[in-house]
Amino acid sequence: MSTTAVPLRPIAKGSLTRLWIGVAIVALAAGGLAWAGQQGVAPSPAAFLAQNSHEAGVVTTESGLQYKVLEEGTGPSPTSSDVALVGYKGALLDGTVFDENPQAPMPVDGVVPGFSEGLQKMKKGGKYRLWIPSELGYGAEDNGPIPGGSVLVFDVTLHDFKSKAELMQLQQQMMQQQGAAPQPGQ
């Protein structure tokens, strides 16, 4: 019986080193791509709020509302029975603006609980940033452009506020003045 020998070529000097360097480069590139892919993934609302609570100047209330004073106002704060004149911009965590108004009157008790709580912490002329967890906002259900479970981010300026009784009195005074004014052609 005869055996045929297949001649093996010797490996060129440095080939094995180049092979291992190539494997290392491929592994590093794969790791880099995996890391870069994770950078575009937004954290969950709970993870965001947990991380945000450690940011400088952010206060977390017992209910879970987070706020930061951007400019402190002066004087008293509105109560739940007041009507506030505010400027606001509401956005999602990804920066999508869902509502904004530079000057809007709103009853403090007529807005989502987190917004109401934030307004009651402010003073006239103050500017706050509010992070409202979904439990204090619109909850788990979709609400127009706001997906269910969303953290709401509001930049709010409190221009002024009045009690509902003061507003009723002003309205009555205006009606009396209109009734006392001479009618055209008289």
Question: How is residue 74 written in tokens?
Answer: 């002066």
- Least-confidence region, from 28-32, 45-49, 89-93, 121-125: 28-32
Whole-number percent of the chain with pLDDT over 70: 89
Q: Which is more confident, 121 or 181?
A: 121
The pLDDT of residue 41 is above 70: no
d(CA 16, CA 22): 10
The pLDDT of residue 42 is above 70: no
Residue 82: count of CB within 10 angstroms of its CB = 22
- Least-confidence region, from 51-55, 117-121, 180-184: 180-184
pLDDT given at position 180: 65
Question: What pLDDT band is residue 181 in, cutting at 50, 70 and 90?
Answer: low
pLDDT given at position 83: 94
The pLDDT of residue 138 is above 70: yes
Torsion angles phi and psi, residue 132, rounded to 5: -105, 115
Average pLDDT over residues 168-183: 80
Question: What pLDDT band is residue 39 in, cutting at 50, 70 and 90?
Answer: low
29-51 core/surface letters (b: 16 or more CB in 10 A; e: else)? eeeeeeeeeeeeeeeeeeebbee
The pLDDT of residue 6 is above 80: no
pLDDT given at position 182: 59
In one-letter notation, the amino acid at residue 86 is: V
The pLDDT of residue 139 is above 70: yes
Q: Which fold has domain 45-170?
A: Chitinase A; domain 3 (3.10.50)
Going by their DSSP bridges, the two strands 152-163 and 127-132 should be labelled as: antiparallel
pLDDT given at position 86: 97
